[in-house]
Chain A
Amino acid sequence: MSVAAPERTAGFPEGEEIDRQIETRKRQGAIARSLFLLSLIVAVLALLTLLVTVINQSFGLVATVDEVSTAEIMESLGAATDAQLDELDKDQLVAVLMGHLERNPGRRLEREQRFYEDRLVFETQAKWDEVCSTAAPPPGCSRPARSRSDVLALVIEEVVKPQIVGIWNLGDSLFQRPQIEAEVNQAVPGAELSFRSWVSGRFLTSPQDPEPATAGIRTAILGSLWVLAITILFAFPVGVAAAIYLEEYAADNWVNRLLGTNISNLAGVPSIIYGMLGLAIFVRTLQAFTSGAAFGAGADASANGRTILAAGLTLGLLVLPVVIISSREAIRAVPQSLRRAGLALGATRWQTIRAHVLPNALPGILTGTILAMARAFGETAPLVVVGASTFITADPTGPFSKFTVLPIQIYQWTARPQPEFRNIAAAAILVLLVLLLTLNAAAIVLRNRFKRTY
C-alpha cells in the first residue's frame, strides 16, 4: 500500500505497524472461529456417540437353543429331518401343536382364538357351546380363526421355545464373529447363532409382552401419537391465541409485563412439577371429564382419569409457555407498517391481524410449535406422575384409554435386569428417534408451504 503523508493520518498506525496490527486483529478472529468450530465438533461427537451406542445395541448376533429342535418336530410328523418349519402347512403346524401341548394350554389358546372356523381342535363342541353362551364369552368365540403364520408363531413360541443364551452387539458381531462362534460351540453345543435386528416389523407391530423376545412397541407408539395429538390440539390454539392477545390487544402496563415474565419463567419449571399439576387437576379433580365418564364414553373403568386425555392436557400445559413465547416473538417480528397499512384501509384490528399479522407470523409460530412438540414427544417424567401404565397390552382406542408412551416403555425396559431388554430398549430408542425425525420433517414441510407467501 502506498503510504499517505504521515501528517494526514495522524493518530492511526502506519507502515509496519499497520501490518502488525492487522495481523493481531486477524488472529483474534481466527481464535474465535476455531472455538466455534470446536463447539460444533463437541456437539456432533456427542450426538454421534448417542446414535452409535443405540445402533450398536439394536443389531447383533444372538445364540439360541431350541427346547424342541426342528429335527425332532419333523421326525414326529414323519417328514424329512432337514425340512424347515416354514415349509409346513397349517394343518401340519396344528398337528405339531396338538402333539406337544397339554390339553389345558391348548384350550386356553383356542378360547383366545380358534384354529379353524369350522372345527375345534382342543375343545369339545359341547363345552365350546357352553363357554360361548355365557355372559362374557372368550374372544375366540367371535374372532376369525388364526392364519397359518399365526399358528407358525405359536409353534415357535409354545413348542420350539428358542432360549436366548448369548447376545452380542453390532460391533462385536461384525468384527469378532469367528471368536464368538468358537465360544458358542464350546459353551453351548447345539446352539444356533443368527444375526438379529431387534428393530423388526414384528417389534413394531406387537404389543408389550413380558418376554423380551416377543415384546413389541405397538401400544407405546399408538399411545405416543394419541398423546401428542391431544397436546397439539390443546397447546397450539390456546398458545397462539394467548400470544395474539398479549401482543396485539393487551395494554403495555405492569400487569401484562408481569404476566409475560411469568410465562417465560414457567417455561423453565421442571417437567415433573407439571406432572404433579396434571395429577392434581386432570387426573383427580377433573376425573369425571378425563376418564370420559362425563360423556358416558369411559372406555376403561380402571383408568381412573389416568387417560390419554389427562396426559395430553398435562403435556399441553408443559409446552404452552414455549408455544406462547415463540408465537409472541413471531407476531412481534411482523413489521408495524403492515398493521398500519391494514388499519389505514379501514380494517378493524381483527381483520388486520387475521389477514396480515397471522399469515406473516405463521412460519415463526410453527417453528416454535415444532420444537415444543418434539419436547412433548420425548417427555417422560410428568407422564410417570400422571400415571402412564408401564405394562399394557391393549391398544389405546381413544382419548379415554389407559396408555403408555415410547419413552416410558424405554425407561421401563432399561430398568429390567435381563440383557435382552437392553436390546429392545435400544431398538425402541431408534424407533423414537426415527418417529421424531419424521414428525419434525412433516411439520417443517408444512411450515415451508406457509413460508411460500410471496
Chain B
Amino acid sequence: MELVDQTEPIVETPARPTSHPIETRGMSVHYGSFRAVKDITLFCQERKITALIGPSGCGKSTVLRCFNRLNDLIPTARVDGEVLYHGENIYRDGVDPVEVRRRIGMVFQKPNPFPKSIRENVAWGARINGYRGDLGELVEDALTQAALWAEVKDKLDESGLTLSGGQQQRLCIARAIAIKPEILLMDEPTSALDPLATLRIEELLQDLKEKYTIIIVTHNMQQAARASDFTAFLNMDLDRAGFLVEFGSTEEIFTRPRQKATEDYITGRFG
C-alpha cells in the first residue's frame, strides 16, 4: 500500500478512508481575486518528513499555512477544497483554528522567539493551552528534544533573544513541540541560518521524525534530498498560480523524476 502511494500520481485521489495524519484534496487558495495555488492534492505519511520544493512564488508557503489555518490571518485569503486532518476537514464550519494549531505546530522562516525568557518562551504555549503537568519538566523535555537543553540549562531566565540565530530557531522548535503537537510545519526553517546551524537543524529533524510528522518547505535542494522522505514539487503556471507537478518518495523524485519540469528544477536548470 505504501508502495502504491509512492508511485501513483497523486492527482488520482483515492476515494477510500485515509490513514494519513494530514492530506489535501483539490485544495485551491485565493488571495482576493488572485489564485495563489490550485488543485493541490497530496498527503503526508505519519512520522515521515515531507518536503515541499519549488521556485520562488509558487505557493509552497501558502500550502503550508493551510495546514494550520494560518492563512486565516490574511483577511482576503480563501481556501477551497479539503484539508483533512485524520480524515476531518479542518476548514469545515465549526472547526476552531485554535484547536487545529494546538495539534499542528509551526516553525517559521526567521527565528522569532518571544522577547521573554527562554523558559517562558517554551512554557507559554503550554500554559495558555491549559497544560496541567509540571511546566519545569515540560520545558526541559521540549528543550532536550530540540537539542538545546545542554546549551541553555544554566540560563533559562535569560532572554530568548540573547541566543544565536541557530539556537533561536531550535528554541522556536522547542516552543512548538512543547504543546505536544502531532504535526510540525516548517517554513524554510534554515534559510536564515549559517551552514553549521543548518546542519544541526537537519540532524534534529531526523530525531524529531521519531515522534512527529513533519512537513518542511525548503529552497535548498540538497536539504530536501538529504532530510526528507517524500517530496512534492510545485511549479508556477502561466497564470502564476502554483500547482503540484509531482509528488513521490524523495528518492524517486531526485533519481527518476517523471516530469521534465521536475528534472529541470532539481538539476538546477531553472528555478
Which positions in A face B, CB cutoff 8 Å?
Answer: 251-252, 335, 337-348, 351, 355-356, 360, 453-454
Contact = CB atoms under 8 A, between A and B. Distances in A.
Contacts of A356: 114
Contact of B128 (A337, A346, A454): A346
B114 A337 contact: no
Given A251-B75, A454-B160, A344 B114 contact: no
A344 B161 contact: no
A338 B113 CA distance: 8
A347 B98 contact: yes
Contact of A344 (B68, B113, B116): B68
**Can you list the 9 inter-chain pairs with the closest CB atoms, starting with the nearest?**
A454-B159, A346-B102, A345-B125, A337-B112, A344-B106, A346-B101, A454-B115, A341-B112, A351-B128
Chain B contact patch, size range: 20 to 34
A346 to B, nearest CB: 3
A340 to B, nearest CB: 7
22 contacts: A252-B75, A337-B108, A338-B114, A340-B70, A340-B108, A341-B108, A341-B112, A341-B113, A342-B114, A344-B176, A345-B102, A345-B125, A345-B175, A346-B98, A348-B98, A351-B128, A355-B114, A356-B114, A360-B115, A453-B115, A453-B116, A454-B158
Interface in B97-131: 98-99, 101-102, 105-106, 108, 110, 112-117, 124-125, 128-129
Given A343-B101, A345-B101, A453-B115, 11 more contacts: A252-B75, A340-B70, A341-B108, A341-B112, A342-B114, A343-B70, A346-B125, A346-B179, A453-B116, A454-B158, A454-B161
Contact of B176 (A251, A338, A345, A454): A345
Contacts of A342: 114
Nearest to B175: A345
Nearest to A345: B125
Contacts, number: 71
B49 interface: no
Contacts of A338: 112, 114-115
B117 A454 contact: yes
Contacts of A252: 75
A337 B175 CA distance: 14
Contacts of A360: 115
A251 B76 CA distance: 10
A347 B116 contact: no
A337 B110 contact: yes
Contacts of A454: 115-117, 158-162
B146 interface: no
Contacts of A344: 68, 70, 101, 105-106, 108, 176
Residue among B102, B113, B124, B129 with max Cβ neighbours from chain A (10 Å): B124
A341 B114 contact: yes
Contacts of A337: 108, 110, 112
A252 B73 CA distance: 12
B98 A335 contact: no
A343 B98 CA distance: 8
B172 interface: yes
Nearest to B159: A454
Contacts of B75: 251-252
Nearest to B181: A346
A113 B102 CA distance: 73
Contacts of A251: 75
A347 to B, nearest CB: 5
With most chain B CB atoms within 10 A of its CB, the pick from A340, A453, A454 is A454
A346 B125 CA distance: 7
Interface string B166-199: 0000001001100100000000000000000000
B115 A347 contact: no
Contacts of B172: 341
B112 to A, nearest CB: 4
Contacts of A340: 70, 73, 108, 112
Contacts of B129: 345-347
A345 B70 contact: no
A13 B101 CA distance: 60
Contact of B179 (A345, A348, A355): A345
Contacts of B158: 454
A335 B112 CA distance: 9
A384 B128 CA distance: 50
